[in-house]
Structures are given as structure tokens and as C-alpha cells.
Structure 1
Amino acid sequence: MLPSLTIIDDFLSDPWAARRAALALRYALPGTGGNYPGRDSTSALEVDGINAAVSRHIGIDLAGAEGTEHGHCRLTLKSDKGRSGVHVDPAFYSGILYLSRPEDCVKPGAGGTDFFRHKRTGLERVPTNGAELAATGYDNLDDLVGTVVNKDTMHPAKWERVMRVPIRFNRLLLFSPWQFHNSAPGFGTDPESGRLVMLLFFAKAKG
């Protein structure tokens, strides 16, 4: 079974080079690429061997999930607002590599990634098998995701935060994408001081 959450600190051997390359990417305008706050890079950050390194860590061969922004970076400033909140990811496994400066990561209000419990159902993730789904009273996963996640995504009172993984420069967070989660609020006033992450969405490798 895949670990529901893993933290790997000091992941890259040269994180400052990765940060410089991430800031040099072209970014879409805020609000033009999705429901998330901030802006995503229009191309992926080239980090050699990242899929292989994560594959070795969890013991399963992984590749970037098709149709996702695997490897792209996201820049979120304090002023950025999104159109969705708590969500799940369309992937086999997810990851976030934090690339904000160390001095910004330790400032009050600098957040990493939050995980939640849905108050009405008591769920902390989407069920992973038929028995778990039957216990929720829902007939299928689409109905559950639609009426729990999508309906309540922007209603904070419907959720209870159960954990926050703190942001730390060069920290890689790996987690099950079916857990209810959301990025902590953005921070900073410009790209240098903002919340900068690399997004990872994995699928099982073919072959």
C-alpha cells in the first residue's frame, strides 16, 4: 500500500538552481489557468531524475500523469484568490516540492499544505474500495466527489483541518491524491518573496 503521506527534506542536491530555473519560467496570468489561486508556469521545470527518485522511494515505477501539469511550477502571492478550495487530484500519486526562500518559509502566515476532514460525512479522503464506499451511503464515487468535494469546496465551515504540513525550502511532500487537501494561503508581494512550488502528478509507468 502506498504511504498516505511522506516528507523528504533536502530533496534536491542543488535546490537554488532549481529555484532560479523555476522563476525564469513563463507564467500565465492569475485566474486564467484553473480554479487555484496564483499562476502556473506554461511549461514544466526540468529536474533530471525526479520521477525515478520518487519511484525508488515508494517502490513503484511512476511517470507524469497525462493531462496534468506534472512538473509545472505555481507562484502564489498573498493577494491571489482562487475559485476552489479543498479538493482531490486526478492522479495515482501527488507531490509538491517547495521552492520558496528559507527566510520566507519561516515568516508568520507562510503555509505549506493543509489536509481536511469533511464534517458532515467524517471522511478525510475518497474511499478506495467498494466496502468503504458502501459505508458512506453513496452509490458511486462520482456522486460522492460531486456532493462532498465539489459542492463544499469553497465552504470552509464544512471542513475541519486535521493537519498542516509546514512549508520548508527543498522539502518534497508526497501524498495520496484522494485525501482532501488544499494549499495553505499564498504569501509575499512579488515572485522573489512569494509561495513557489513544483507540482507533481504521477501515474503508474507503462510497460
Structure 2
Amino acid sequence: MLPSLTIIDDFLTDPWAARRAALALDYAQPGSGGNYPGRDSTCSLPMDGINASVSRRVGIEFTGAKGTEHGHCRLTLKSDKGRSGVHIDPAYYSGILYLSRPEDCARPGAGGTDFFRHKRTGLERVPTNGAELASSGYDSLDELVEDVVNRDTMQPSRWERVMRVPMRFNRLVLFSPWQFHNAAPGFGTDADNARLVMLLFFGRAGD
């Protein structure tokens, strides 16, 4: 079974080069794409080395999950708002690589990654097998996702934050995409001091 959460500090050999490359990408206009706050890059950074490194650490050969923005970067300013909140990811495994400057990561409450418990059901993730699904009281995963995630994604009072992984420059966070999670709030006023991350959505090679 994959670890539900793994934190790897000092992941890249040259994180400043990765940051410069991320900032050099073209970014979509705010609100032009998904439900998230901020702007995603219109293309990805080269990913072969990261895919291989994560595959070695986890013991499973990974590739980018189909239909996702694997390897794209996201800029989120303090003023950015989204159309969704707590969510799950359409992937086999997820990751976030923090590329904000060290001094920006050190700000109080700087935008790491938050994990939640759904108050009404007590769930912290979507069930991963039939027994867990049966004990949840739902007949199908689709029913559960619709009633829990889609219904309450933008209702903060219906969630309890159970953990925040703090942002740290060159920190890679790997986690189960079925856990209820969300980005902590963005910060900064421009690209240089904004929340900057690389998004990683892994699939198993050969699937």
C-alpha cells in the first residue's frame, strides 16, 4: 500500500533553476481554467527525472496521470479566489513541490497543504475498498463523492482541518489523492513573492 503521506525535503539538486524555469512559463489568466484559485502554467516542466526519482522512492513505476496537469506549475496570490475548496484528485498518487522562496515560505500561515475530516460523516478520505465503502453508509463511490466532496467543497464549516503540511522551499509532499485536502491560502502580490508550486498527478506505468 502506498504511504498516505510522505514529506521529502531538499528534493531537487538545483531548486533555484527549477524555480526560474517555472516562473518563465506562460500562465493562463485567473479564472480561465479550473476551480482552483490562482493561475496554472499552460505547459509542464520536463518531468522524466522527477517521475523516476519518485518511482524509486515508492517502489512503483509512475508516469503522469492521463487527463491531468501533471508537471504544470501554479501561481497563487493572496487576492486569488477559487470556485472549489476541499477536494480529491483524479490520480493514483499525488504530489506538490513547493518552489516559493524560503523567506516567503517562512511567513506565518504560508500556503502549505491542508488535510481535512468531513464533520457530518467523520471521513478523512474516500474509501479504498468495498468493506470501507459499506461501513461509510453509501452504496457507491460516486454517491459518496457527490454527497460529501461536491456538496460541501465550498462549505468550510462542514470540515475540520486535521493537519497542515507547512510550505518549505524545495519540499516535495507525496500523498494519497483520496484524502480530503486543499491548498492553504495563497500569498504575495506578484509572481516573485507568490505561492508557487509544481503539481504532480501520478499514474502507474502500463495502466
What TM-score do you get using the length of structure 1 for normalisation? 0.99
Q: Map of 1:126-165 to 2, 5 A cutoff?
A: 126-165=126-165
Q: Map of 1:17-56 to 2, 5 A cutoff?
A: 17-56=17-56
Q: How many residues are matched?
A: 207
Q: Look up the SS of the partner of 2:192 in the other structure.
A: coil
The verdict on how the C-alpha distance between 1:48 and 1:204 changes in structure 2, with shifts beyond 3 A counting, is closer
State the partner residue of 1:120.
120
State the partner residue of 2:78.
78
- Identity in percent: 81
**Cα RMSD (Å):** 0.8
Q: Hey, what's the Cα distance between the residues in 2 that align with 1:55 and 1:128? A: 21
Q: Look up the SS of the partner of 2:116 in the other structure.
A: strand
| Structure 1, unaligned runs of 5 or more | none
Q: Look up the SS of the partner of 1:170 in the other structure.
A: coil
- Compute the displacement of 1:186 (Å): 0.1
The verdict on how the C-alpha distance between 1:149 and 1:174 changes in structure 2, with shifts beyond 3 A counting, is same
Q: Hey, what's the Cα distance between the residues in 2 that align with 1:91 and 1:43? A: 18
Q: Hey, what's the Cα distance between the residues in 2 that align with 1:58 and 1:46? A: 20
Q: Hey, what's the Cα distance between the residues in 2 that align with 1:38 and 1:8? A: 25
Residue identity matched to 1:82:
G
State the partner residue of 2:91.
91
Mapped contact 1:18–1:47 kept (Cα < 8 A): no
Residue identity matched to 1:187:
F
Q: Look up the SS of the partner of 2:193 in the other structure.
A: coil
Query: Which shows bigger deviation, 39-48 or 7-16?
Result: 39-48
Mapped contact 1:23–1:191 kept (Cα < 8 A): yes
Residue identity matched to 1:115:
F
Q: Look up the SS of the partner of 2:191 in the other structure.
A: coil
Q: Look up the SS of the partner of 2:37 in the other structure.
A: coil
Q: Which runs of 4+ in 1 moved over 6 A?
A: none
Query: Which shows bigger deviation, 47-56 or 181-190?
Result: 47-56
2:120 paired with 1:111:
no
| Structure 2, unaligned runs of 5 or more | none
Q: Hey, what's the Cα distance between the residues in 2 that align with 1:174 and 1:30? A: 26
Q: Hey, what's the Cα distance between the residues in 2 that align with 1:151 and 1:48? A: 37
State the partner residue of 2:204.
204
State the partner residue of 1:61.
61
Q: Hey, what's the Cα distance between the residues in 1 that align with 2:49 and 2:21? A: 16
Q: Look up the SS of the partner of 2:52 in the other structure.
A: helix
State the partner residue of 2:167.
167
Q: Hey, what's the Cα distance between the residues in 2 that align with 1:111 and 1:63? A: 27
Q: Hey, what's the Cα distance between the residues in 2 that align with 1:121 and 1:140? A: 15
Q: Hey, what's the Cα distance between the residues in 1 that align with 2:37 and 2:52? A: 30
What TM-score do you get using the length of structure 2 for normalisation? 0.99
Q: Hey, what's the Cα distance between the residues in 2 that align with 1:114 and 1:190? A: 23
